[in-house]
Amino acid sequence: MNNTAPAPARTRGRPRGNPPTRESIVVAARALFLERGYRRTTLRAVAGAAGVDPALIAYHFGSKKGLFADVMQFQCANALAVDDVLLGDPATLPDRLIDAVTDLWEDADFRRLTAQGDEASEVIREYLEQELLARLVEFLGGRDATARAMAVVTILGGLIYTRYLNPLPTPPALTPAEARHILTPALRAALTPRARTAAATRAAHRG
């Protein structure tokens, strides 16, 4: 009889690794991406700055693109913590959403990271879709949660694009408080559950 315990099954996806090791790599990579830019930063240089074997970066992050995505996600999660934004008085949720976005994008280092080309744009899209949009849908609930959450993300995405990524003359001249004052009514309207029309109610009854 074989009494040897079976080997534990490997989980799918990117290995989580040792948190202190991952954090040291992300911190070192962030500093180098800011100093040298995405294209001139090598994985060997990041490994040297973090004091780890270069193979560990490939193991934990898969590639330089994966590492850069983690750096951006780390930055987003620190400034735009979705859990913190969603907690609190529902009446002030629009204000907290705008404050979180402007706090993140007013940071000069973050804006330098977002200027790193297609890699940065892809991470921002993924964060808005997979983190903010998905969490908003879950938080709002109800039959029209997806539509309401999409409206919120569209408004916030418009703020990001017109104020930071491809600024129009007026939005950057506004202070964050002024931007919040202007956009809060639109966000409040987007977050409000939509009343069913008489036609929709009849259709639901027929169904």
Lowest model confidence (mean pLDDT) among 58-67, 102-111, 121-130, 148-157: 121-130
pTM assigned to the model: 0.69
Quick one: pLDDT band at residue 4, thresholds 50, 70, 90?
very low
CB–CB of 102/179 below 8 Å?
A: yes
Burial label, 72 (beta-carbon count in 10 A; 0-12, 13-18, 19+): buried
d(CA 182, CA 192): 17
Q: Is the pLDDT of residue 196 over 70?
A: no
Q: Which residues touch 62 (CB under 8 Å, ≥6 apart)?
A: 14
pLDDT for the residue 170: 83
pLDDT of residue 10: 32
Question: Lowest mean pLDDT: which of 62-76, 109-123, 130-144?
Answer: 109-123
Task: Pick the closest to residue 93 from 188, 177, 186 (CA basis).
Answer: 188
DSSP 173: G
Find where tokens 């099954």 sit: 9
Dist. CA 107–CA 102, nearest whole Å: 9
Residue 9 is classified by DSSP as P
**Distance from C-alpha of 196 to C-alpha of 200, rounded to nearest angstrom:** 6
The string of pLDDT tens digits covering residues 52-101 is: 999 999 999 999 988 998 888 877 776 667 778 888 898 999 999 999 88
CA distance 57 to 15: 11
Residues 35, 38, 40: CA angle, nearest 5 degrees? 75
Distance in angstroms (rounded) separating the CA atoms of residues 152 and 94:
9
Q: Is the pLDDT at 106 greater than 70, yes or no?
A: yes
- What digits encode the pLDDT tens for the residues 12-68? 333 444 557 888 999 999 999 989 888 889 999 999 999 999 999 999 999 998 899
Q: How far apart are CA 154 and CA 189, in angstroms?
A: 13
Cβ pair 98, 183 in contact under 8 A: yes
pLDDT at 175 over 60: yes
pLDDT exceeds cutoff 70 at 198: no
Give the rounded percent of residues in the chain with a pLDDT score beyond 70.
Answer: 83
In angstroms, rounded to a whole number, what is the distance separating the alpha carbons of residues 94 and 20? Answer: 35
